[in-house]
Structures are given as C-alpha cells and as structure tokens.
Amino acid sequence: MEQNVAAAAHDFSLIGMYMGADPIVKGVMIALGVASVICWAIILEKMIRMFILRRDLRAMESFAKSPSSVSQTRGLTRVLLSAAESEAVEGASRGEDRSDVRARLEKAMRTALKSQLQRIEAGLPFLATVGSAAPFIGLFGTVWGIMNSFTAIANAQDTSLATVAPGIAEALFATALGLAAAIPAVMAYNHYAVKLGRAAARAGDAIGEIARQISRPADAGPVKASVEPLRAGKAI
C-alpha cells in the first residue's frame, strides 16, 4: 500500500505532475493551457481569413486592370466599390473635376479597406500578449514550485534526489507550458502581421488604379457621369 502511494506521489507523467503540483502552480498551468487553446483557435481563424483575403486581392487586382460589372464582384471588391459609390454621387452632383473625384474615391475606399483589415487583425494583439507574457507566467509557476520544494526539503530534512526531483519536475513543467504557448503565438503574430502589411500595400495599389478608372472623364471637363459607370462597373 505504501509503495503504491509513493509511486503515485512520484508520477512523472504530464497528468501526474499536474495533480501533484501546488494549487498556485496548477492555476498557472490552467491559465497557460487555456491561453494556448485560444491562440490556436485564433491561428486557425486567421488562416481562413487570410485565404479569403488573398482571393479577394486577386479579384481586386483583376478588376483594377479590367473593370467589369459591379454585380459580378464580391467580397472586398464589392465592399470598396459600395463605399465609393456614395462619394461618386456627391462628386458628380458638385461637378468636381477629375482629381477631386479621384481623391474622394480613394479616401472612401481606403477607409473601407482599413475597416476590413482591422476586422482581420482582431485577435493578433492577444497572440502578441501571450507570446510576450506566457514565458514569464510559466517562470512564475516554476519559481513558486521550487520555493515549495525547498520548503518541503527543509521540513523533511532530506536532500535525496527522490525528495527533490518531483517538486522540481512539477515546477519546470509550468515553464514548459509557458514556452509551448508563447512560441506558436509569436511565430503566428509575426507571420500574419507581415502578411497583412503586404496585403494592405497590394490593396492600396489596386484602390489607386480603381479610383483612376472610375474617375476618368469622357471629356476634359468636370466629371458629369461618374455615377453610372461605377454602377455598371466600367470606366468612363
């Protein structure tokens, strides 16, 4: 019976180390485990969103090169054109010249683009926070666990490896969990931050060309008919 109790007390499996840990160390382990699960959920969600964004960027660039019917557009392209339509109406009603209309359209579409990218960026700050804080949270659990181990050694007046090892292993497990949560979070954050920056640049270039196509007048005078080509999806 005593041998079984001793064996359970020195269980070095992941579950065994968790069960044998101090309540505070257990809390650290649970917090890191939950943070890791949330990080992976965000990473998978960003994979899907970035796939859709790449598809929309290709459609935007294709539309910028060869404008077609707006009714045939979808996703980000349609969102940007919808934002530009009201500005085109106002610009045409005021009889503004080409440069003014183009600036107005670009501003509207860039504002809409910024809003869309902010929605895609949601969750990235959490990845950055976990990536920077998780190792220190795990280290806190390790330090706390080692402190308890030294206290137990002093109380037992026994410095044998069998007495020291279980507490040290349980404490180090917290640091391992912290690193396991932080490493994917940091890598994913850096990856998606770079990808979104490049996507924003590509979209900005496409917006400039789309605005140029939409605001191009039929003659050298003020833009009189910007609205209908926008609705039809064709350059003037």
CA atoms in the 13 A half-sphere facing the CB of 50: 20
Range 166-179 average pLDDT:
83
Kindly tell me if the per-residue pLDDT of 4 is higher than 60.
Answer: no
Which has more confidence, 36 or 7?
36
In whole angstroms, what separates CA 63 from the centre of its chain? 27
116 and 142 Cβ atoms separated by less than 8 Å: no
Interaxial angle between packed helices 161-215 and 98-121, expressed in degrees from 0 to 180 and rounded to the nearest 10: 160
9 has a pLDDT exceeding 50: no
pLDDT tens-digit readout, 72-109: 567 777 777 777 777 666 666 666 666 776 777 778 88
Domain segments of the chain as ranges? 22-60+98-212
pLDDT at 227 over 80: no
Residue 152 has pLDDT above 90, yes or no: no
In this predicted structure, what is the pLDDT of residue 34? 93
Across 153-169, average pLDDT: 70
Q: How does pLDDT run across 118-150, given as a tens digit for each residue?
A: 888 888 999 999 999 999 999 988 888 888 777
